[in-house]
Structure 1
């Protein structure tokens, strides 16, 4: 699947500019259209509190929310012009629940670009958690870390591979990125053997599949030896100077608080480079 229609969610956070720049660079690389989305969340007030505040206070809150949207829109337009894609970019500011609006609008994009949640950043509106969008949107999600700037995404890629349905889906969703990469490394951590495992040469089968797509790919596998597998993946990505990690997100329970697998949860919290998740 070609990447021709990208969606980046913009807010008033300190990492918004870096996220827009990363999305714009990706759009420029793939000659894609980029939509910037800002969601104006309704005030979260009990009815009795809203009644006591009066219409004037509520109107003030709405005006401030619109000003925030206008500020974010100005930032988006500035950054896409600097990236040279102003003619292939559009801005949308919609009202509603931020997560729900993102999920709905994201279904009409090839890739949804979100920011990693910074637990130390104060926000007037609750942040969008990428895992919520990931499981309900039906599209792959690219999460940009809250720390750092990322001028290139997809030049050197690490694929986290465990032969699961989710990992296979992630590889397929990321194919346009993998086909244009300079180097792709398939990594299996603690590979299992047997019929449902990765065989005597872990990663060889998926590497052959990628090679048939013209992807410059190598395969590698490592044993965690007591270290957290998520840390092993991140350390490996650092050693490879990777600018993108591709992996499947999987769940072991239908309960929301338990839905992310351990590795997925660890990467979501501790990522140091952009990560493309698919489910």
Structure 2
């Protein structure tokens, strides 16, 4: 298993510099093709008018979106042409979440910029990673602007004995094979450290059969999982955290769990999330 096609979701109004840099490193590392995606849809103001004035407003708004999408394509191609010649661009005037989730069928993994808190975002121009991970059916590599190097000298797998964590570790196998050090860490939230050690030892043994050397770590202190994972990631110098994306549906909205929220919106290192 490897990443044959890496998809990069470009932010419409924010900086894409770090996201494109990390995507470029991945494209070179896996000798992959790369597809850039972006979308936005004109959103009429609350004081929307009608008639000729409305038509002109809509035309101006749509033209501005077309211009910005063209700028993003140029930015993407300039960044990616240094890494590969197999470059594709996909964009449309559409609700961006809907567009990117649909286009995800063509990718092995999606690289996306970390959004600011994930609550008050404009659905007409912003792809919220918390929504995309629930709909894409592909792993997300969430890149914060503060992310440093991506040399995979150390990777932390945040283990929890759930289907989401199992999918995440399978989705991350190409990255784990290139990592120098892999740590499987579980926070024993149920208080049974011995059971947690047995589970993480099983994961280490499973990885060894995939020719990936890893070590297990279950801290003795029973801290909040997000805080504990940050502490472990810092202590081992991890530049990537792998985790399952946990959440549930409340009416028609996805509500992420606390640890997933922390990793997705507050981490200063790249996070691979799978649902």
TM-score of the aligned structures, taking structure 2 as reference length: 0.89
CA contact (8 A) 1:7 1:37 kept: yes
Deviation at 1:9, TM superposition (A): 0.7
CA contact (8 A) 1:202 1:219 kept: no
Match 1:186 to one of 181, 184, 208: 184
* 1:196-227: CA deviation from partner (whole Å, max 9, x where unpaired): x94553410001000111112111011453x4
Partner of 1:28: 28
Q: Distance in 1 between matches of 2:17 and 2:207?
A: 33
Which stretch shows the higher mean deviation, 106-115 or 258-267? 258-267
Deviation at 1:275, TM superposition (A): 0.6
Partner of 1:15: 15
Q: Secondary structure at the match of 1:167?
A: helix
CA contact (8 A) 1:3 1:111 kept: yes
Q: Distance in 1 between matches of 2:172 and 2:19?
A: 19
Which stretch shows the higher mean deviation, 70-79 or 51-60? 51-60
Q: Distance in 1 between matches of 2:56 and 2:9?
A: 30
Which stretch shows the higher mean deviation, 42-51 or 237-246? 42-51
Q: Distance in 2 between matches of 1:28 and 1:140?
A: 19
Asked if 1:133 is matched to 2:123, the reply is no
Q: From the superposition, tell whether residues 189 and 256 of structure 1 become closer, same or farther in structure 2 (CA, over 3 Å).
A: farther
Q: From the superposition, tell whether residues 148 and 15 of structure 1 become closer, same or farther in structure 2 (CA, over 3 Å).
A: farther
Which stretch shows the higher mean deviation, 184-193 or 160-169? 184-193
Alignment of 1:124-163 (within 5 A): 125-145=124-144, 147-152=145-150, 154-163=152-161
Q: Distance in 2 between matches of 1:161 and 1:246?
A: 8
Q: From the superposition, tell whether residues 259 and 48 of structure 1 become closer, same or farther in structure 2 (CA, over 3 Å).
A: closer
Partner of 2:230: 234
Partner of 2:260: 264
CA contact (8 A) 2:147 2:270 kept: no
Partner of 1:102: 100
Partner of 2:41: 41
Q: Distance in 2 between matches of 1:189 and 1:232?
A: 7
Structure 1, gaps ≥5 residues long: none
Partner of 1:79: 79
Alignment RMSD, CA only?
A: 2.6
Partner of 2:204: 207
Q: Distance in 2 between matches of 1:16 and 1:270?
A: 18
* 1:89-131: CA deviation from partner (whole Å, max 9, x where unpaired): 2222212110000100012210111111125999795421111
CA contact (8 A) 2:197 2:216 kept: no
CA contact (8 A) 2:239 2:269 kept: yes
Deviation at 1:40, TM superposition (A): 2.9
- The number of equivalent residue pairs is 273
CA contact (8 A) 2:204 2:214 kept: yes
Structure 2, gaps ≥5 residues long: none
Partner of 1:168: 166
CA contact (8 A) 1:143 1:276 kept: yes
Q: Distance in 2 between matches of 1:234 and 1:200?
A: 19
Q: Distance in 2 between matches of 1:126 and 1:93?
A: 12
CA contact (8 A) 1:41 1:98 kept: yes
